[in-house]
Amino acid sequence: MTELSDEQKRDFEAAAFRRLIEHLRERSDVQNIDLMNLAGFCRNCLSNWYRDAANAEGVDLGKDQSREIVYGMPYAQWQALNQTEASDAKKAEFEARRPRDH
């Protein structure tokens, strides 16, 4: 196995994150509740993790700012363009699986 430097790891992780964000922007048909029910995280989780990382480094990044970074537009705009009402079954599944921090 190739030995990676810390800088390479950081760069590759950043590239993978950027590709994940790009993929999620392209797949606006996939709702956050679907992601939560299947994978246990969603776009909002990613934006929270991004904000947490910034805040840990002393950068005061707000919730709206971090969501715009992940969604590629203001969250309210993304919701208006892409979010649909979740079925009762999806809501029930979410409640049954919901991690304590959501």
Share of the chain above pLDDT 90, in %: 93
40-61: per-residue pLDDT in tens?
Answer: 999 999 999 999 999 999 999 9
CATH number of the domain encompassing residue 43: 1.10.3340.10
* Domain assignment of residue 92, yes or no: yes
* Domain assignment of residue 24, yes or no: no
* Half-sphere CA count of 46, side-chain side, radius 13 A: 21
- Enter the pTM of the model: 0.87
Q: Which domain holds residue 79?
A: 30-97
* Domain assignment of residue 10, yes or no: no
User: What tokens appear for 85 in the block?
Assistant: 């009402």
DSSP for residue 102? -
